[in-house]
Structure 1
Amino acid sequence: MMSFIPKAVFPAIVFASFSAQATTISFNDLLVKPTSDIQIIDCRSSNHYNGWAEDGATQGGHIPGAINIDANWINDLSPESLQALLTEKQIDASKPTYLYCNETGSQLLSSALKTQGIKNVSIIKESLQNYTGELEALPKFQYLVSPQWVKDVVEGKQPEFAPKKGYKLVEVAWGPPSKYLASHIPTALYLNTNRIESEPWWNRVSDEKLTEIIREFGIRYDTTVILYGRDNTAAARAASMMMYAGVDDVRLLNGGWTSWVNAGFTTEPLLNTNKTNVDFGKAIPANPELIIDIPEAKAMLTKPEDEQSLVSIRTWDEYIGVTSGYRYIKPKGRIEGSKWGHAGSDANHLEDFRNPDLTMKSAKDITRIWQKWNITPAQDVSFYCGTGWRASSTFFYAYVMGWKNISVFDGGWYEWSGDKSNPTNTGDIKPPHTVTF
């Protein structure tokens, strides 16, 4: 796990002096306080916040309304980055603030908050199991797995939501397996994304080719497929295709390779070739609605705005046409009628959806940015980016958030802009009317 030793930007002596000022309360004390008058911070791992139970606990999840700020992030944040994080999380310095996680973490976060002017901080030292109210969790948290869960599976244990019909662990990346060969999670196979995408648009390969690749990896429809990447957008791209094909149980390692390294777990070198060609057991694709093409995207845009969202998971500069985002994509702009779904600093990052440790941001955070653009779970929602990687990541996040009518628009901006007859737009644009849900 990441160390709790503070970095130089947060001197230990400052932490110690602030920590002594933190008061403690119980969960029972918290239950009697009006939720609108306080703010609660869950400083545990995002995996526990999402729904995975801690060791010895019978239930995972978080207190309703709690904000997730993992205390482990503090060590890797400058004061400026911490301030930006607190602003993004909408932390109100005037409100009483209550923290719950382990004692070391809560003291560390309490001290860090006080350096940012948040003085009224109390720590709950009890286990969350003492909380008598109902906890909230991602509706499908079990598909976004922790490194500890993967480790248990690899070691033959039976963790919560363990695979029922065997598993395949796969590292996914673009190009030859150079980093994989040096070090990877034990038992992991390797998938080069060039095998599942085809030129000229880098869309998915044919159903016949996809069937061949899935069989080669020894994957049946009832095999649990666990995916991760050095860049987890590659793993998400493969995840969307596995789900499209019809794999019933697709898991994504939350935070990807980085989370495994941060956990301090062992790795192994060289290539695993433990593949047995098997029959998938279903016709592929079993779920064709999960990946759509240009005709379906155009049909979506004919529906009223409140009924559909074709969502651009691209930077703001890509969306308004300042840049295409890619050296091989020349046209700039957006699909006319699409909504901005946020992304990150460039075409290779997704900071708007990821915590400092690269795990998925809370559903609360993601819902807030989509709500502004009238992107709601009741709609028919399809995500696109340049060629499908970023869109697949947000597709999977929406999936674990419980959104139902979702898909990836495979062609994205690259294929759409490749036909000049397809309507496009550039320039600044204001969000549509804001909705609540």
Structure 2
Amino acid sequence: MTYARPDALVSTEWLADHLDAPDIRIVDGSFFLPAQKRDPKAEFVNQHIPGAVFFDIDEIADTDSPLPHMLPSAEKFSARVRKLGLGDGNKIVVYDTSPMTGACRVWWMFRAMGHKDVAILDGGLPKWMAEGRPVTDDPTPPRERHFTARLDNTLVRSIDDVKALIDSKREQIVDARAAGRFRGETPEPRAGLRSGHMPGAFNLPYNELLDPRTGTVLPADQLKARIAASGIDPSKKVTASCGSGVTACVVGLGLYLTGAPEAAIYDGSWTEWGGRADTAIVTGP
């Protein structure tokens, strides 16, 4: 069984064969939570796939928002990626150094900004390096290119959108956090947040869509089965949420690959919802 929309992924073999293709741009979208005490930009400088540029989701963001790495305006996104040498007509391949999380966020951001020719390196840098493929510490001098950003409002949801969706049940809310956090049994890693989940939400932990041995996305049949087991109706649109809008994008990728309606991402996610007093929260399964 093959993916319904395989264009969202490229293999390490494919990228190795296309490293020098003139229309390919490679992006390192690595991201870590503060508690992980890792610096993705420093790691990128130390080693990266030849030709790659670094995409900082905390800087290519709405830095005026009190919430972390919120989607920036189309104007800011366009200005930042243009300086990275990413432009109209490029096929953008995103990878990261953790299991697909930062790469999926960058993939979603490009799609939300209207650039659909973007794919994720399946297995990321760990798989690339495990296969003995080349890395370098040479910087990639970007040549500025024109990038046209047009926000696709069907792919992003605000807190008011989510409140309305809970009332109308027009879309399914899917929470990508671990089951303990979803049920309210495990404290949130960010201080000051209440525990639990949104009323009516389904739980689909993002890591359950990945092969723990390789960091690659599950094969198509297993991916479809795991999504179905969560209780989601694959014919109905999903709004995905998580801690801060990053791992929700892994769920978005999984749904995209299976041919389900393309998911929206609740950008503020639990950092916003769990940090406010005017939001409904339930605990338990």
Q: TM-score, normalised by structure 2?
A: 0.89
Aligned residue number for residue 77 of structure 1: none
Question: Among residues 79, 104, 112, which one is paired with 1:212 in the alignment?
Answer: 79
Task: Report the counterpart of residue 36 of structure 2 in structure 1.
Answer: none
Q: Give 1:221 shift.
A: 3.7
Q: Would you say the 8 A contact 1:383–1:394 is kept in 2?
A: yes
Separation in structure 2 between the aligned mates of residue 336 and residue 399 of structure 1, nearest angstrom: 24
Match of 1:326, as an amino acid?
A: P
Give CA-to-partner distance per residue, 1:52-96, whole Å, 9 cap, x none: xxxxxxxxxxxxxxxxxxxxxxxxxxxxxxxxxxxxxxxxxxxxx
Matches within 5 A, 1:22-421: 136-156=1-21, 166-174=23-31, 175=39, 177-197=41-61, 198=63, 199-202=65-68, 203-231=70-98, 232-276=100-144, 278-281=145-148, 283-285=149-151, 287-304=152-169, 308-343=171-206, 350=207, 352-355=208-211, 356-421=213-278
CA positional deviation for 1:325 = 3.4
Aligned amino acid, residue 377 of structure 1: P
Sequence identity percentage: 23
| Segment drifting more, 390-399 vs 204-213 | 204-213
Residue 221 to residue 397, structure 1, CA distance change in 2 (3 Å)? farther
* Structure 2 CA distance for aligned equivalents of residues 360 and 329 of structure 1: 33
Kindly provide the CA deviation profile for residues 366-398 of structure 1, in whole angstroms up to 9, marking residues without a partner as x.
332332342122112111100011101121121
What do the CA deviations read for 1:242-282 (whole angstroms, capped 9, x no partner)?
10001120110001111101221111113212231x3323x
Describe the SS at the equivalent of 2:29: strand
DSSP-derived class of the 2:215 partner: coil
Residue 213 (structure 1) shift: 1.2
Q: Secondary structure at the match of 2:7?
A: helix
Separation (CA, whole Å) in 1 of partners of 2:76 and 2:124: 26
What SS does the aligned partner of 2:118 have?
strand
Higher relative contact order (CA 8 A, sep 6+): 2
| 1:220–1:247 Cα contact (<8 Å) kept | no
How far does residue 295 in structure 1 lie from its aligned partner after superposition? 2.0
Cα distance in 2 for partners of 1:298, 1:173 equals 31
Point out 4+ residue stretches in structure 1 off by more than 4 angstroms.
none
Which amino acid in the other structure matches residue 193 of structure 2? Answer: K
Residues in 2 aligned to 1:325 and 1:256: alpha-carbon distance in whole angstroms? 27
Q: In angstroms, what is the RMSD of aligned CA positions? A: 1.9
1:182, distance to aligned residue in structure 2 (A) = 1.8
Q: Distance in 2 between matches of 1:392 and 1:329?
A: 24
Structure 1's 405 and 140: CA in aligned 2 closer, same or farther, altered over 3 A? closer
Deviations 1:264-316 (A, max 9, x none): 1111113212231x3323x421x221121112222222334xx5310000111
Specify the code of the residue in structure 2 equivalent to 1:302.
D
Instruction: Note if contact 1:381-1:406 (Cα within 8 Å) is conserved in structure 2.
Output: yes
Give, in angstroms, the shift of residue 329 of structure 1. 4.9
Which amino acid is the alignment partner of residue 411 of structure 1? G
CA contact (8 A) 1:216 1:275 kept: yes
Using the size of structure 1 for normalisation, the TM-score is: 0.59
Spell out, residue by residue over 1:210-247, the C-alpha distance to the aligned partner (whole angstroms, 9 max, x if none): 12112222323432110000022011111110100011
Deviation at 1:176, TM superposition (A): 5.5
The structure-2 alpha-carbon separation of the partners of 1:200 and 1:144, relative to structure 1 and needing over 3 Å to count, comes to same
One-letter code aligned to 1:154: L
| Structure 1: 5+ residue stretches without partners | 1-135, 157-164, 344-349, 430-437
- Distance, in Å, in 1 between the alignment partners of 2:47 and 2:262 is 38
Q: Secondary structure at the match of 1:168?
A: strand
Equivalent position of 1:16 in the other structure? none
Query: Cα 1:262–1:336, aligned 2, differ >3 Å: closer, same or farther?
Result: same
Q: Distance in 1 between matches of 2:15 and 2:268?
A: 32
